[in-house]
Each structure stands twice: as C-alpha cells, then as structure tokens.
C-alpha cells in the first residue's frame, strides 16, 4: 500500500468516526443513532486495521514491476 493511499484511508476512517459520533449524540432523529453507531463501528475497525498495516516505502523491492 502506498503512503498516499494509506494516509487517505486513515483520513476516511477518521471522518467515519466523526460522523458516527455526531450521529449518535444528536438529539433530533433517532434513525441517525443507528447509522451513527454503524459508522462509528466501521470507522473504528477500519482505522485499527489500516493503522496496523505499514505503508510500503518507495525503495521497497516488493513493488510491482521490480525484478
């Protein structure tokens, strides 16, 4: 995984967590609570998984096309 993709995925997961927190703690629409919970759950799981995968460095011999 490239460094740019890794950073982008981390930011997307943090955004999902933020949306989940807002959805769970808003007092107006109960349906947002369910969507907020799912968003927070998947954002947290995704962030945990993505943060444990190290981005591939530019000089890695495992890149495609390298022999």
Structural domain range at position 28? 3-51
Tell me what the mean pLDDT of segment 23-38 comes to.
90
Instruction: Please give the distance of CA 11 from its chain centroid, rounded to a whole number.
Output: 6
pTM above 0.85, yes or no: no
**Within a domain: 15:** yes
Q: Is residue 33 assigned to a domain? A: yes
Domain count, the chain: 1
Residue that is written with structure tokens 């460094």 in the block: 3
- Residue 12 belongs to some domain of the structure: yes
Per the prediction, the chain carries an average pLDDT of 85
């Amino acid at each position: 995984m490239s460094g740019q993709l890794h950073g982008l995925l981390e930011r997307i997961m943090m955004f999902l967590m933020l949306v989940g927190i807002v959805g769970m703690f808003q007092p107006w629409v109960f349906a947002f609570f369910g969507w907020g919970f799912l968003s927070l759950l998947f954002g947290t799981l995704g962030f945990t998984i993505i943060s444990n995968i190290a981005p591939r460095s530019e000089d890695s011999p495992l890149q495609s096309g390298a022999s």
